[in-house]
Every structure is written in structure tokens, then in C-alpha cells.
Amino acid sequence: MLFHSTEAPAISRVPTRQEIPESDRWDLARIYPDDSAWESDFTALQQRYPQITQFRGRLAESPATLLAALEFEKSIDQPLERLGTYASLRVSENASDPAFLEREARLQNLHTNIVEQCSFLSPELMAVPDAEFAALTAAPALAPWHRVLERLRRFQPHTLNENEERLLAMSSQPLAGHEDTFSQLTNVDLKFGLITDSAGRQVELSQSSFSSFLVKPDHDLRRRTFHQFYEEFTDHKFTLASTLANSVRTDVFHAKARRYPSALDAALFRHNIPTDVYTNLVSTVRANLAPLHRYYELRRRALGLEEVHHYDTYVPLVPQITTHLTFDQAIDRTTAATAPLGREYTRELEAGLRGRWCDRYESKGKRSGAFSSGCYGCPPYILMNYKTDVFADMFTLAHEAGHSMHTWYAQRDQTFQDHHYPIFLAEVASTFNEELLTHHLLTQTDDPPMKAYLLNRQIDDLRGTIYRQTMFAEFEKIIHERQEAGEALTLDTLTTIYHELLVTYFGPGFTLDPQLDLECLRIPHFYSAFYVYQYATGMSAAIALSRQVLETGDPSRYLAFLQSGGRQDPIDTLKLAGVDMTSPTPVEAALQLFAQRVDELATLLKIDLDQP
């Protein structure tokens, strides 16, 4: 007799935060022991910041007065950063918790008031004649502030009068509302439903689990996941197009208000990045698309597909290799890979990762993706949504660990005003660690399938970080230029521009699903204008620096780079470390590595790409 179970298949759901063991969650007590301590600091800052007005009209009075004003502003900025880090990390834990959202909203209001109250500082300093400013700031007592004051003076052509600065400060929060709308919609409100996996289990599809499904060997599962995921974006495409268009309009408004030639110039000016760095990246990558198209053909053949789609671009090409890495195993491999940087680096990194720097796993309402975030004098926390069956998540951990150790060294060796490093440098430290991890894993195996698997992973890393992010960067440049030219950024405009880029970057042998045109509406980084290009430049610089460390065995120049924080302009910092990003050479070298790896992988897989 056959017995049939009438029980429904088990449904795998995203756990609540309370269901995640405390040991797998970050320990924010290093910032504030509890919410009441946060409230106490918040109240103290509310009462203190208005006293900044005692310096109004007096900044050029004497070096001592200017120093007192700068130190007082720091006494506002440092607790504000601490309050903001705690509030944002709590929202990242659960963006649907009204108490967390209310706390962050109160802080945003306070921040707006503080910026408004401090808005006289820059215009007043900018109004000081050049000779008087030079004499004032040459005082030895102001030596710790020289770099801050030099950078501030650069903004003289883009600083408005006091009343105008006050109005811009007051408008900052309402003009950023589109970003909050996008975050709430995509992280909380969108529901992607359940999907049946290859074992017949119903699993909840989410922003985080989407990537997990795309690496599965089951082609039909990948296809169903892709289409079901994008159905939800299709249902909200007009809203998402509106939020993105408003973000671009805000960028253009600020650039025009401050008399920059363009939004791109405005974004790059702050850290003195020449616009040629951006445009050279796009032109260099566009000139080297052939190896990328060659790789997609390799994918098609290796997977035995008649057509290659976007949902076929993440699954490993070596199906007999399966991975299941616990988070602690990922820590082991990451610390072993960073051994060339010395015992101090690996000791502090391991202690942090095992000592609850990291919020490890996905939970209900938790922000998707991964990031590193910290404040001066506190641990550099890491948010992950780690999946044991997603091999790439180990690289994500190494990536975020690179950010965190950059923060750790910069905080240790720099003052508060000099420790903040720009994203242009941050993405070097993160991708540097990924390069070390790749090198380490490749040296640990002689097994051809495993080597092919790792080569495949490095190729996909280069593809995702240089080619993909450059395509994003080109999209950002185009849509901002369209807005600056007075054109309307409608849903049709945005998706048409993006489709044309997809055709160019994916090549003639690639099958583009119409839903992929909506990808431009779900990229959170587009709400931080001209941010993503730094992933591509960062990886290019990281490849050059990692080769330098591995070939010489001397990490001193790289460690000096980490320790420098934000004391120098990023282009100069990298030049001192040994990489010139004003030249196309680092990007070209990275793309040559990509082409080399594609050919090596094709050889291991016994696929002759030169034969039809």
C-alpha cells in the first residue's frame, strides 16, 4: 500500500530579528549602551548647537577665535555623527519599525537645524580677502586644521551668501524625500511572493534572496525567479521612475544653485577628482567590450544554452563544484587571505568579525545588500545578508572587511577632521581585499574544476565591478545631461536610455528580456549621484596595489594608504601608494586581466571560442 502525505510542503520564510541569535547580530552597545543613552546625547546636542552663533562675525578676528570656532563645530559634528550612525544602523535592522524611523526622522530634523545654524561659517570665511585668509590660517595653532581650511577655500566660487546658504540648508531634507520613498518602497512595501525551488519547497522571494536563486543550476528556476521578481517592479514602475527622476532633478538643482558647470562637476569637485577620470573610464571600458562579449559566448556554450539571458550570468560555470560555507569559515578564509598585510591587520580584523562587528543574516525588514558603517571612536560595523550557499557572499564579506579596516586604521592614525576618507578611496580598500582573497584561494588548489570555479568567480567580479558599474556610470551621466538640457525624464525616457546601454554592453549574441529595462529603477546607488563609477576605478587601483604587495612582499605603502584617511586629495593619495588614476593605464590593465582570465577559463573548460 502506498501512503501519500497530505501535509503541505514546508515554506522557508525570512526570520524575524528576534529569531536571529544575538551572537549573529552586531553589538551597537559600543556606540550607545541603550536607546536612553542616545536620547541623552540627542538632548544635549539640541541644547548645545545654538551656541555656535557666538562666533558669527568674528571668525577672522584672530587665529585663536577661528580655532575656537572650528573646535566648537567639531564638538557638534562628532556627537552628530555618533547619533546618526546609531540611528541609521537601527533602521537598517528593521526599516518597518516605527520607533526606529521616528528616531531617524528626529535626527534628520536636528541635522537640518544644525546645518542651518552653522550656515554662516563658510560664507564668512570665504569673504575674508586672500592675503588676510593666508595670514590668519598660517598660525601654528591652526596646523591641525590646515587641510580642512585649504579644502574649504576651494569652494569659494561655489559658496553662496549667508541667507542663500541658510535656505539651501533648510531645503536639504525635503529635497531628499525621494530617496526615503525609494527605500521604503523597495525594502518594505514590495512583496515578491513565494517561489517553488528545485526540491519542491516554497521559498520567500526577496531583494536579498533574489541573488541566491540566480546562482542555482536549475535554468527554469532562474528564469521563473527573474520574471516573478520583475513583475513587482513592473507594477510599480511609474512610481520608481518618478523617484529616480526627482533625484536627478535635485542633483541638477544643487549644481546650478552653486554655479557648477554640471551635476557631474559638482559631484567630483568636492574631492578634487578631474572629470577626465570619469570620462576616461567610460571611454576605456567602451573600447574594451569585446572580451566581455566573448565571455557571454563562453557562458552560453559552457551552460549548453541556445540563448544566454541575464538570469544566466551569475550561475557558476562549473556545476560539479558546490559550496556551503558557514560565516565562520568565511572569516577563516578572509583572514588567511589578508595575511600579506601583516599580523596587526589580520588580528584586528578577526577580533572584530568574531567580536560582533557584523550583523550576519537576513531578517524581516532588514536592509538588503551589504555595507560598512562606523563613527569616530566606535567599531566599523558591517551589515551582511549572508547566505551559506552563495559563494559570492564570502567575497562580499572580504569587501566590507576592507572598508572596515580602512576605517579602523584611519581612525587610529588621524584626527576626527582628517579621518574621513572619500568613497573614491574606500572602494580601493574593499576590492583590494577581494583580490587578495582570489589570489589566496587560487594558490590553495590544483584541482582543475575548482580552479575553473575560482577563475569564473574572479571574471564575474571584474565584470560586475568594472563593466557593470561603468555601464551604470554612463547611464547616470546621460540622464543628468538630459535633465540639464531641459528634457523630461519619463519612464519611457529612462528605460529607453538604459535599453540602449544594455544592447551595447551585453553585445549582439545576448538575449535581452524586456523586463531588464526596468533594472535602472531598482539600483539604490543611483540616489547618490555619480557614486558607482568609483567601484570601477577602485577595483582598477586595487588590482595594481594588490599586485604590488604580492610581488614585493612589502605592504608598507598600502598600509600607509589606509592610515592616511582623508588627509590628502584621493588622486594624490593613490599616487603616493603607486597608482595614477588620471591615466587610463590602471583601467586598461584590469581589463587585460579580464581578457586573460576569460581565455584561461575557456582552456580549462575545453571550449574553443575561436571556432563557431
State how far the Cα of 41 lies from the Cα of 254, in Å rounded to an integer: 31
Q: 307 and 511 in contact (C-beta within 8 Å)?
A: yes
CATH number at residue 490: 1.10.1370.20
Residue 91 placed within a domain: yes
Are 540 and 588 within 8 A, CB to CB? Answer: no
Phi, psi (5° rounding) for residue 30?
-70, -20
Asked whether residue 4 is domain-assigned, the answer is: no
Average pLDDT of the residues in 308-335: 89
602 lies in the same domain as 453:
yes
Per-residue pLDDT tens for 213-271?
Answer: 998 989 999 999 999 999 999 999 999 999 999 999 999 999 999 999 999 999 999 99
Each residue's pLDDT tens digit, 97-154: 899 999 999 999 999 999 999 989 988 998 999 999 999 999 999 999 999 999 999 9
Asked if residue 118 is part of any domain, the answer here is yes
Same domain, 463 and 607: yes
Q: Measured between alpha carbons, how far is residue 32 from residues 18, 382, 384 in Å?
A: 20, 17, 21
Least confident piece of the model among 207-211, 281-285, 382-386, 568-572:
207-211
Structural domain including 156 reads 17-175
Question: Residue 369's pLDDT is what?
Answer: 86
What's the whole-number mean pLDDT along residues 340-355? Answer: 97
Beta strand 381-383 with 11-12 is unpaired
> How is residue 525 written as a grid cell?
546607488
Told to judge if 7 belongs to the known catalytic residues of this protein, a careful annotator would answer: no
Query: Is residue 247 one of the residues assigned to a domain?
Result: no
- For residue 204, the SS3 value is strand
Residue 192 clears pLDDT 80, i.e. is over it: yes
Cα Rg for the chain, rounded, in angstroms? 25
Contact 156, 123 (CB under 8 A): no
Look up the pTM and report it.
0.82
* Residue 251 to residue 248: CA distance in whole angstroms: 5
Place of cell 556545476: 319
Q: Please check whether residue 566 lies inside any domain of the structure.
A: yes
266 and 165 in one domain?
no
Q: Is 147 domain-assigned?
A: yes
- Cβ contacts of residue 425 below 8 Å, gap of 6+? 406, 538, 561, 566, 570, 573, 574
Residue 356 falls in which region: left (phi positive, over 0), alpha (psi -120 to 50) or beta = left
Q: How far apart are CA 329 and CA 333, in angstroms?
A: 6
In a domain, 60, yes or no: yes
DSSP secondary structure letter of residue 10: P
| For residues 280-307, average pLDDT | 97
Query: Is the same domain home to 154 and 292?
Result: no
Q: Which of 73, 400, 434, 474 is catalytic?
A: 400
Do 280 and 151 reside in the same domain of the chain? Answer: no
C-alpha dihedral, 405 to 406 to 410 to 411, nearest 10° = -40
In a domain, 298, yes or no: yes
Q: Which of 113, 143, 175 is the last residue of a domain?
A: 175
Edge-to-edge strands of the sheet including 202-204?
11-12, 202-204, 194-196
Q: What was the pLDDT predicted at 14?
A: 87
Domain boundary, last residue among 175, 192, 219: 175
Domain count across the chain:
2
pLDDT for 294 beyond 60? yes
Instruction: Give the SS3 label for residue 196.
Output: strand
Whether 310 and 301 have beta carbons less than 8 Å apart is answered as no
CATH of the domain at 116: 1.20.140.70
**Pick from 152, 175, 198: which residue ends a domain?**
175
